Structure 1
Amino acid sequence: MNVKERFKLAKEQYEEWGIDVEEALEKVKQVPISIHCWQGDDIAGFEVDQQELSGGIDVTGDYPGKATNPEELRKDIDKALSLIPGKHRINLHAIYAETNGEKVERNELKPEHFQNWIDWAKERGLGLDFNPTLFSHPKAADGLTLSHPDAEIRQFWIDHVKASRRIAEHIGKELGTPTLTNIWIPDGYKDIPSDRLTPRLRLKDSLDDIFSDEISKEYTIDAVESKLFGIGSEAYVVGSHEFYMGYALKNDILCLLDSGHYHPTEVVSNKISSLLCFSDQVALHVSRPVRWDSDHVIVFDDELREIGLEIVRNDALDKVKIGLDFFDASINRVAAWTIGTRNMIKSLLYASLMPNDKLKQWQDEGNFTERLATFELFKTMPFGAIWDYYCELAGVPVENEWMKDIHEYEKTELSKREA
C-alpha cells in the first residue's frame, strides 16, 4: 500500500472524530522552527583564536565528518533542510562570524561579519536568529560575564551584547523577517554563595544598559534565557528562571524557556500556558535532558508531545517562537538535525490531529474517564500515515527513506573531511 492509500484510510479514522486533516497539515506547514547551527560543528565556531568550549557546556563524541569551516557547515545545513518538511529558520551564535582571517574581538563584531550567512539565507528564503556568545572566551574563564564584579569585564560583555543586537537588527532588515536575539550567560558559582543578591543586581544593571540601546522591534525580538545549574555552577546561577521571568515581563521582552534548564521533575510544557497569561509571546529552546541538562537530540517522547499540545490547543502557534538547542557528536550530525527537527514538527502535527475541543469540554464537565480513554486511544491512531503524507507533500523523504540520503551524504561528503 503506497503513502496516499495509507493516508486516505488514516484520514477517514481521524475524520470520524471531526478532525479536519487537511487543515491540520496546512496549519503545521506555516510554522517555522529555528534550527541551531551549532549541532554541525560541536559549538566550535570560526573565531581566529578558537577557544576550548566552556561555560558549563560539553559536547561528547567524535563521530567523523564534523564541519570545520563555514562552507561545510552551510552545506550540511542545506542537506538537513532537504530532509525536513517545511520552511524554517537558522539560529546563529556570534562565534560563527566570518572575519577573513582577521582577529575581531566579540565586542567589535559588525553586520559585515555575517554577510555570507545573510546572502545564503536570502537565497533560500530562510530567516535567521542570533545569540551573543558569552562563553568560551578568556574574559569568561571564571564563569562570570554580565554579573562580574569587575566593571571592565562587565562592560566588555555589555558591549558584545549591544553589538549582537545591532547585528540582529541588520539581519532582520535584510531578510524581511525579525531576528530573535537571545541572551544566555553562564554566570554562577560552584558552591553555596555568600551573596546571591548583588550578582543579580549587577546582571539587572547590565541588562538595563544593554536594552537602553534603541533597536527596531520591526526587525528584532529580544529574549532572555534562564538556567537552573551548569557544570561549575551547581549551587547558584545568577540568571535563574525567577529572575529572567520577572525581568522579561517587566521590560516587555520574551522569556525563553529551554527544556533542559530546569529541575528533572519540572517540564517546560507546564510553563508555557502560565507565561501566555501574561506575555503575548514566549520563546522556546527544545532539547532533551537525560538526568541533567545534557542536550540530547529530541525524540518523540511524552514531553515533546505535551509541548506540541500546549502550543496547538491554546491556539499559540503564532505566539510561541520554537527553537532547538541540542548537540550530539556521537552520531551523524546531519542526521541529528534531521531527527530532532522532524520530531519537533511531528509533535505539532500530532497535536493538531487531536480532538482538543472535546478534551477541553470533558475536563470542564469533570468527565475525566472519557478524557483519559481518548488520550490513550489517540496514541495508537494511524499518525504515521498522516506524517508520511505530509513529508511527501513537502517533497522530502518519508520516515523509512531519509536515512538513505544520510548514508549517501556520509559517503560522498562527510567521510572525505579531515578529523
Structure 2
Amino acid sequence: MRDQQPSMTDNKTIESVYGSACERFSAFGIDVEGALERLDAIPISMHCWQGDDVLGFEKGAGPLTGGIQATGNYPGRARTADELRADLDLAMAQIPGAKRLNLHAIYLESEAPVAREAIEPRHFTGWVDWAKERKVGLDFNPTCFSHPLSADGMTLSHPDAAVRDFWIAHCQASRKVSAFFGETLGTPSVMNIWLPDGMKDLPADRFAPRERMADALDAVIADKLPREHHKDAIESKLFGLGLESYTVVSGEFALGYATSRDILLCLDAGHFHPTEVISDKISSTLQFVPELLLHVSRPVRWDSDHVVLLDDELQAIAVEIVRGGALDRVNIGLDFFDASINRVAAWVIGTRNMRKALLRALLDPTTALRKAEAERDFTTRLATMEEMKSMPWGAVWDFYCLSRNVPVGLDWLEPIRTYERTVLSKRKAA
C-alpha cells in the first residue's frame, strides 16, 4: 500500500463548514441534527465472510462451492475466529453508527469437527461474548454450500429424501442458534436462508424440485420461534457458477414463499437480471411481506459481489427506504467478498458508503417533493431533486464522523495500512 495521505481532520474548519451546510439544508426545511440522530440509530449488518473469502472455520472443510467464488489472493486472510474478530474490530472502529454482524454457520468454533446438522449455540459463544462487549447484534445464515451433500447442486430440493432431511436438520439447528443470538443479545437475529439448488443445463422437470423445496422449507420453519428473538428470511438467485440454466429458488419462488408464509424476503442486489435493480422492488414487496432483508452488493456482469460503491443504485436503495418510511421494516445487510484488495479496507469502504447513502437520503426534502408531486408540479419536483445532488452533504458527513470519533475523509486508511504492515503481512496462507 502507498505512503500515508495527509490528514483530513481540521476540527474548526469541519465545524464551520458544517454550520454553513446546516443553513443550506434548513432552507429546504431539513433538520440536519435530527437527521444525524436518525442515521446513528440505523444498524448496518456487516458480513463476516469478507474477511476470510467465505471459507469459515469448520474442521476439515472442503473447497468453496455452490456457485460462489472469491477472486484474488491479497495477503492477510483471516484464518481463525480470533483473527477475524480482530479484523472486524479494526474495521468497525472506522465506521460511524450502529452496526451488526452477519455470521454463517461455518464460522463456528470447536476443537472437534461438528456436523452441520449438529451445530448448537455453544459453538458460537465466542461470537456472542464478542458481540455483547461491543454492543452489536448478530444475524445468522445456515450454510447450504461447500459440503459433500451439496456437491451435485441440490440441497433442500434434492430427490433423495435422506439428503433433504440432512439439510432440513441443518436449517432447523441454525434457527435455534439464531434464536439464541436474539434472546441473549436482546435484539432479534435475522436468519437468511439461501439455497444453491439449481442446474447447469436445462432441466426436464422444473416443478418437482420446487415442490420438494417448498415442502422442505415448511419443515424448516414449522417450529414457531418468537419474533423478538428470531426472524426467518428467504433469498432468491438468478444463477450462479454451475447453476446457469435453472435455480430452484427463483425471484418468483422466494416472493411467493415469503408472502404466503409471512416471513422476510431477502433482496440481494446481485441476484436479479442485469437490467433489474432492487431499489424499485422495495416499495412493491413491502406491500405483501412484513419486513425485508437487503443484501447490498455490487454486481459487475454477474453476481460477482464487488465492494459497494456510492453509486446511483445504492443511493436509490437508501432513498426508497427513507422516503417510504420503511426504516423499521428493512434490515440492511452487506454481501460482498473481494480478495483482490485489503479485506479490512473493503469492509470500511462498503459500509461507510452504505451509511453515506442513508445520510443523503435523510437529508432529502421528502415533504416538499411529495407536495410538488401531489400538486402535479413535476417541474419543481425535478428541479429540487437535481439541486439536492450538489448540496453540501459531504460537509455533514465529515462532521458526523468527527462528532462520532471516527476518522474523517481518508484518515481511516492509515490505521489499515499500519495493521497490514504489523499484522496482516505476517499471516501465512492456510
User: TM-score band (shorter)?
Assistant: over 0.9
SS in 2 for 1:354: coil
Tell me the residue number matched to 1:412: 422
Q: How far off is 1:256 after superposition?
A: 0.6
Unpaired runs of at least 5, structure 1: none
2:101 paired with 1:83: no
* C-alpha contact (below 8 Å) 2:262/2:290 kept by paired residues: no
**Aligned partner of 1:337 among 347, 365, 370:** 347
Tell me the residue number matched to 1:313: 323
Q: How far off is 1:362 after superposition?
A: 2.1
- Distance in 2 of aligned mates of 1:4 and 1:296: 34
SS in 1 for 2:59: coil
Select between 201-210 and 5-14 the one with higher mean Cα deviation: 5-14
- Distance in 2 of aligned mates of 1:294 and 1:373: 36
- Distance in 2 of aligned mates of 1:290 and 1:32: 26
2:262 paired with 1:252: yes
- Distance in 1 of aligned mates of 2:196 and 2:114: 22
- Note the 1:3-402 alignment, pairs <5 A: 3-100=14-111, 102-402=112-412
Letter in 1 for 2:372: W
- Distance in 1 of aligned mates of 2:305 and 2:375: 39
TM-score normalised by L of structure 1? 0.98
Q: How far off is 1:11 after superposition?
A: 1.1
- Distance in 2 of aligned mates of 1:401 and 1:379: 25
Tell me the residue number matched to 2:9: none
Q: How far off is 1:368 after superposition?
A: 2.1
Q: How far off is 1:363 after superposition?
A: 2.3
Letter in 2 for 1:400: L
- Distance in 1 of aligned mates of 2:224 and 2:177: 13
SS in 2 for 1:294: strand
SS in 1 for 2:303: coil
For residues 41-90 of structure 1, give each alpha carbon's deviation from its aligned partner in whole angstroms, at most 9, with x where no partner exists: 00010011111001000100011111011110000000000000012100
Letter in 2 for 1:199: P
- Distance in 1 of aligned mates of 2:410 and 2:59: 41
Letter in 1 for 2:288: F
SS in 2 for 1:2: helix
For residues 329-379 of structure 1, give each alpha carbon's deviation from its aligned partner in whole angstroms, at most 9, with x where no partner exists: 000000000000001111111001011111122223322222222222111
SS in 2 for 1:143: coil
SS in 2 for 1:400: helix
Q: How far off is 1:112 after superposition?
A: 0.5
- Distance in 2 of aligned mates of 1:278 and 1:184: 20
Q: How far off is 1:385 after superposition?
A: 0.5
- Distance in 2 of aligned mates of 1:288 and 1:149: 34
Letter in 1 for 2:121: P
- Distance in 2 of aligned mates of 1:273 and 1:217: 23
- Distance in 2 of aligned mates of 1:75 and 1:124: 12
* C-alpha contact (below 8 Å) 2:263/2:290 kept by paired residues: no
- Distance in 2 of aligned mates of 1:51 and 1:393: 45
Select between 131-140 and 407-416 the one with higher mean Cα deviation: 407-416
Q: How far off is 1:216 after superposition?
A: 2.4
* C-alpha contact (below 8 Å) 2:51/2:84 kept by paired residues: yes
Q: How far off is 1:276 after superposition?
A: 1.5
- Distance in 2 of aligned mates of 1:235 and 1:389: 49
Q: Percent identity over the alignment?
A: 57
- Distance in 1 of aligned mates of 2:101 and 2:47: 6
For residues 262-303 of structure 1, give each alpha carbon's deviation from its aligned partner in whole angstroms, at most 9, with x where no partner exists: 001110000000112122311111000011111000000000
What RMSD in Å do the two structures reach over aligned CA positions? 1.0
Q: How far off is 1:387 after superposition?
A: 0.4
Q: How far off is 1:217 after superposition?
A: 2.0
Select between 374-383 and 219-228 the one with higher mean Cα deviation: 374-383
Letter in 1 for 2:402: E
* C-alpha contact (below 8 Å) 2:266/2:295 kept by paired residues: yes
SS in 2 for 1:295: strand
- Distance in 1 of aligned mates of 2:132 and 2:201: 47
- Distance in 2 of aligned mates of 1:192 and 1:369: 49
* C-alpha contact (below 8 Å) 2:121/2:177 kept by paired residues: yes
Select between 374-383 and 76-85 the one with higher mean Cα deviation: 374-383
SS in 2 for 1:170: helix
TM-score normalised by L of structure 2? 0.96
- Distance in 1 of aligned mates of 2:210 and 2:313: 31
